[in-house]
A and B are shown apart, each in its own frame.
Chain A
């Protein structure tokens, strides 16, 4: 079982749509959670951290369910510029014993006119 699993998509949605991405993680000792965005042939960039109480940043809402080991990202009113790959990131103890950010393979979003 992969440590961080995401539906690869692609999710193909019209402008203005609401879209939700899910992510599950296997290590219950994980401590910190993030969503990153990666554009084609670019480096990943932080979109938002994810807190247990849930948090919102403009059109983006992130939720964490520790009991189910599940993270979600909701994007409202999608824009063309939201087209990218969204990476779920979980920081937890690695096989080497350190807390390492582990990345999911990403969910591809395509927003069309």
Chain B
């Protein structure tokens, strides 16, 4: 498809398990962002990729969270030893370029994570 694609759309996992969330950005977009939105809350920035590099990881809440991007395209966000407070929707967005450009960012539909 032409938009940002995320999988899985929904994931229920047991506390302590690891989860992987995938994002396939719009083709040709070099900038990729991960955000998290807890129920009734605003979007919380997690990490920014420019190409395969992550110049800004300042939003990752703990060392249980990591992300990578390969081939300048697909990104995976991994949460190790999940906790109940990790329950949220994880939103991926991409943009033609990053930096201080005024480019719009386009979101995927999100991965809804529930930790039980």
Give the B-binding residues of A (Cβ under 8 A): 31-32, 34, 42-46, 49, 87, 91, 94-106
Tally of A-B Cβ pairs under 8 angstroms: 65
B43 engages A44 (CB within 8 Å): yes
Name the B residues within 8 Å of A103 (CB-CB): 35, 42-43
Tell me, yes or no, whether B115 is within 8 Å of chain A by CB. Answer: no
Choice from B35, B45, B57, B100 contacting A32 with Cβ under 8 Å? B100
Q: How many Å from the CB of B69 to the closest CB on chain A?
A: 14
Q: Which of B48, B93, B100, B106 contacts A31 (CB 8 A)?
A: B100
Cβ of B25 within 8 Å of any chain A Cβ, yes or no, is no
Chain A residues, CB < 8 A from B93: 101
Q: How many residues of B contact A (CB 8 A)?
A: 27
Q: Which of B58, B99, B108 is A96 in contact with, Cβ under 8 Å?
A: B58
Query: How would residues 90 to 116 of chain B score, 1 for a CB under 8 Å from any chain A CB and 0 otherwise?
Result: 010100001111101111111000000
Q: Which of B41, B56, B110 contacts A94 (CB 8 A)?
A: B56
**Shortest Cβ distance from residue B32 to the other chain A in the assembled complex, whole angstroms:** 12
Q: Which of A34, A87, A102 contacts B45 (CB 8 A)?
A: A102
Q: Which of B35, B57, B99 contacts A99 (CB 8 A)?
A: B99
A100 / chain B contacts, CB cutoff of 8 Å: 33, 45, 48, 56
Closest to A43 in B: B107
